[in-house]
Structure 1
Amino acid sequence: MAGLFESTGGGSAAIVLDELEASILRSLEVQMLELIGPGPGGESDDPLAALFAEGPSEAPEDPALARLFPDAYGEPGAVADDETKASAAEFRRYTELDLRARKRDDALSVVRALDGLGGAGGEVKVAAADCPRWLCALNDLRLTLGTRLEVTEEDEEGLYQLPDSDQRKPLVMAYLWLGGMQESLIEAMTG
């Protein structure tokens, strides 16, 4: 997989993906949409009700979702006291639904752009205004894969040396590819 972004000027970017790369990226984003889901309480067509909707107060049990929607208070991995738990629950209750909606919108932005290829490979042009959405969507995928693979800073170098027989190899390849895409997108946006 070699699809990387290049600057097209003005903060916009383009990436050429072959059919397999486009299919893999689209599949990962669709899986991300399924993982994020509509959130507790579902979607409301009433904008006023949506404005005042309250989200969950407990962190997700799924480690990947917990990574995407971390507690805003307390140290990761540390046992929180009652005050910290209450602050984290209150913050989550009023922010998680919006965060889920933004993550869904980011993933949908990528899916729609890839759908524009008509199931084939080709060049995807990303306007400057959409580049941050792509960057966030790629980051969410990478965080999720990293969590599923239980990647730590210490292991990341070892990922390059996994034998082909390792069952994790396809996910590791996607994880590393997404990292390269993120890096190239940042360079394209700023270059």
Structure 2
Amino acid sequence: MAGARIRRTRRGDFAVRIPAAERELLRAVPSELRRLLTEGDPASDPALRRLFPPASLEDERLRAEFERLTRDELLAGRLAAAETMARTADADRLTEDELLAWLATVNDVRLVLGTRLDVTEETTVEDFAGLPEDDERVRMYAVYAYLTFLEDQMVAALAG
């Protein structure tokens, strides 16, 4: 798998070959997710609702009970994965558990960005090409596209 940023080694861990500029972005991802998870409000933020979907849109009592039973555990898992990614963002080798934490964190950030950008399966880079360079959506889509690429790399490495 020539050119792979992440690959499984014979020892069973994962070699990580990510350029410095990309590492800088990866160091920022966990803290941004942590900030959103601890400061955001799922009731008013569609991106957070994407990470904590309700059990029911019609039954308020069911929704509240489901959230009461699951939110703390979901939040703790997301924060732990983000912490693992933050701790290992500069590592050249990752264990499978560490790579799974990266995958979870990257996926969460992709979901947030995708929601904020209204990304669908039909969305392409051309949808953002006509926007002014200083439009925040251009940068957000570039990060979204890179994280999508990296997520594909992680899934391929885990499957290999």
Distance 2:106 2:43 in 1: 21
Mark the structure with the bigger radius of gyration. 1
**Amino acid in the other structure paired with 1:146:** G
How far did residue 138 of structure 1 move?
0.8
Residue 158 of structure 2 corresponds to residue 157 of structure 1: no
Deviation at 1:72, TM superposition (A): 2.3
Distance 1:136 1:13 in 2: 16
Distance in 2 between residues matched to 1:88 and 1:29, nearest whole Å: 28
Q: Any residues of structure 2 matched to 1:43-122 within 5 Å, and which?
A: 59-74=42-57, 80=58, 84-114=59-89, 117=90
The yes-or-no answer on 1:145 pairing with 2:113 is: yes
Shift, 1:85, TM fit: 2.4
For residues 16-46 of structure 1, the C-alpha deviation after alignment (integer angstroms, 9 at most, x for no partner) is 222221111111221111110179xxxxxxx
Name the SS of the counterpart of 1:14 in structure 2.
strand
TM-score calculated relative to the size of structure 1: 0.71
Instruction: Name whichever structure is richer in helix by fraction.
Output: 2
Q: Distance in 2 between matches of 1:183 and 1:35?
A: 24
- State the identity as a percent: 29
CA–CA distance in structure 2, aligned partners of residues 90 and 163 of structure 1: 45
In the alignment, the residues of structure 2 paired with residue 36 and residue 28 of structure 1 have an alpha-carbon distance, to the nearest angstrom, of 12
TM-score (norm 2): 0.84
Match of 1:48 in 2: none
**How many angstroms apart in 1 are the aligned matches of 2:129 and 2:157?**
30
| TM superposition outliers: structure 1 runs of 4+ over 4 Å | 158-161
Q: What's the Cα RMSD here?
A: 2.5
Count of aligned positions: 156
Number of the residue aligned with 1:29: 30
Residue 175 (structure 1) aligned with residue 144 (structure 2): yes
Compared CA separation, residues 60 and 10, structure 1 to 2 (3 A): farther
Q: Residue deviations 1:54-101, cap 9 Å, x none?
A: xxxx95311111111111235xxxxx2xxx322121010111011111
Cα deviation, residue 135, structure 1? 1.1
Name structure 2 gaps, 5 residues minimum: none
Runs of 5+ in structure 1 lacking a partner?
A: 40-57, 75-79, 118-122
Is 2:155 the partner of 1:186? yes
